[in-house]
Amino acid sequence: MSDSPEKHPFLLTRADMFITWAQKNSLWPFGSGLACCAIEMIATAAARFDIARFGMELFRASPRQADLFIVAGTVTNKMAPVIRRLWDQMPDPKWALAMGNCAIGGGPFPTYSVLQGVDKIIPVDVYVAGCPPTPQGLIHGLMTLQEKISRSHPTKEILNPDARTSR
Amino acid sequence: MPELAADRPDFRQALEALTGRFPGAVLSSGVEKGESAVRLRKDDLEAVLRFLKDELGFNVLEDIIVLDNVRTAAEGGKRFSVLYQLYRHPGASRIRLVVDVGDNEGLASAVPVYRSADWAEREAFDMFGVRFEGHPGLRRIYLPDDFEGYPLRKDFPLEGRDGGV
């Protein structure tokens, strides 16, 4: 390069920082509205709360196009194998958020038909309590997840594939 | 059942027709929790349903309800009471049939008479394990196929058996 550096601005950063910056600012949620929490999740996506501000407005109808699983609502034992399958269908890297008390631990349904917490079948990154959580609550959970992603080291997983399964 | 439904002409008429046609089938009758109810002998159920539908015009089977009489069953009563809620349209009158059935007894299916009995009986089977003989496909309707037990029985643990998956 014969030109001076001033004409070709550049940025130095760590690969981890750059990758996580891209990941956390374009999370594509998989909209799995299982119960009433779905209404609050939809409200979060709509104009008033507008998670497009976080780059998350692209709710996908297919798990294969999503990297964030928002488990919004009650998971019944009958639905549990389906949830597990949908999670397995999502490509890495992926994150899961348990929205509402039902997804966290069965909520008000300690019964024969309800799974007592979705973390029994998939690894959950962030829990958002509430019955249902407000859109503000969900946004707080999503921002917490963004922080968690920005603290992660994706290059470790790239260099060491075994680290991926440990998460 | 406490009082006789003297002030319900619809019910009295249906009851008289029923006792005239099926002597001995009606075990008792009366107003039970606001509903005109008839307790029937188990073996007469299908014939009574057909009679009520074809000749008395009770053309809707609204629901099938099951009660688990776990306490009285211990004292010699039958385990379950199966309730058939019938409705006549037009005319807006209702009649409830009550059939007592034991723990391991079968019960004639109402599907040949009322198509709407299909899912109602599957639900009753799913939740209480009442066997409806002659049902075209008596299998679970809500719960997973591999579920063990019948959760609305009073002796089923309230929080389930294994605490989830």
d(CA B145, CA B139): 8
Residue of A nearest to B143 (CA): A78
Q: How far is A77 from chain B (nearest CA, A)?
A: 6
Half-sphere exposure for A161 (CA within 13 Å, toward CB): 0
Element (H, E) at B160: none
| Mean local confidence (pLDDT), A4-11 | 76
List of chain B residues whose C-beta atoms are within 8 Å of the C-beta of residue A120: 164-165
Q: What domains are defined for chain B?
A: 9-104 (3.30.460.80)
Q: How far is B132 from chain A (nearest CA, A)?
A: 24
A96 pairs with which residues across the strands? A69
List of chain A residues whose C-beta atoms are within 8 Å of the C-beta of residue B163: 116
Residue of B nearest to A117 (CA): B164
Torsions phi, psi for A50 (to 5 deg): 55, 75
Whether A112 sits inside 8 A of B156 (CB atoms) is: yes
Q: Is residue A18 a part of any domain in this protein?
A: no
Whether B151 sits inside 8 A of A78 (CB atoms) is: no
| Mean local confidence (pLDDT), A148-156 | 87
Residue of A nearest to B153 (CA): A112
Q: Is residue A140 a part of any domain in this protein?
A: yes
Q: Is residue A44 a part of any domain in this protein?
A: yes
Q: Is residue A70 a part of any domain in this protein?
A: yes
Whether A80 sits inside 8 A of B157 (CB atoms) is: no
Q: How far is B92 from chain A (nearest CA, A)?
A: 35
In the predicted model, residues of chain B with pLDDT beneath 50 are: 1-2, 164-165
Q: Are the C-beta atoms of A50 and A57 separated by less than 8 Å?
A: yes
Residue of B nearest to A80 (CA): B165
B160 touches chain A (CB under 8 A): yes
Torsions phi, psi for B95 (to 5 deg): -145, 145
> Using 50, 70 and 90 to split pLDDT, how confident is the model at A157?
confident
pLDDT score, position A70: 92
Most distant CA pair in chain B: distance in Å? 55
E strands present in chain A: 29-33, 68-72, 95-99, 126-128
Name which of A134-148, A150-164, B116-130 the model is least confident about.
A150-164
The domain that holds A49 is classified in CATH as 3.40.50.12280
Q: Are the C-beta atoms of A72 and A32 separated by less than 8 Å?
A: yes
Q: Is residue A37 a part of any domain in this protein?
A: yes
Query: pTM for this one?
Result: 0.79
How far CA A111 is from CA of A131, B65, B81, B160, in Å, comes to 17, 21, 24, 6
List of chain A residues whose C-beta atoms are within 8 Å of the C-beta of residue B153: none
pLDDT tens digits, A18-68? 989 998 898 999 978 888 999 999 999 888 998 888 888 788 889 999 999
Instruction: Please give the tally of structural domains in chain A.
Output: 1
Q: Is residue A65 a part of any domain in this protein?
A: yes
Q: Are the C-beta atoms of B21 and B56 separated by less than 8 Å?
A: no
Q: Which amino acid, one-letter code, is at B108?
A: A
pLDDT score, position B1: 47
> Using 50, 70 and 90 to split pLDDT, how confident is the model at A89?
very high
Q: Is residue A59 a part of any domain in this protein?
A: yes
The average confidence (pLDDT) of chain A is 87
Residues 6+ apart with CB under 8 A from B98: B32, B37, B38, B39, B40, B81, B82, B83, B84
Which residues constitute the domain of residue A56? Answer: 27-166
Q: Is residue A49 a part of any domain in this protein?
A: yes
Tell me the three state secondary structure of residue B32. Answer: strand
pLDDT score, position A97: 93
**In this predicted complex, what is the ipTM?**
0.71
Give the one of B142, B144, B160 whose C-beta lies nearest to A111's C-beta.
B160
pLDDT score, position B27: 84
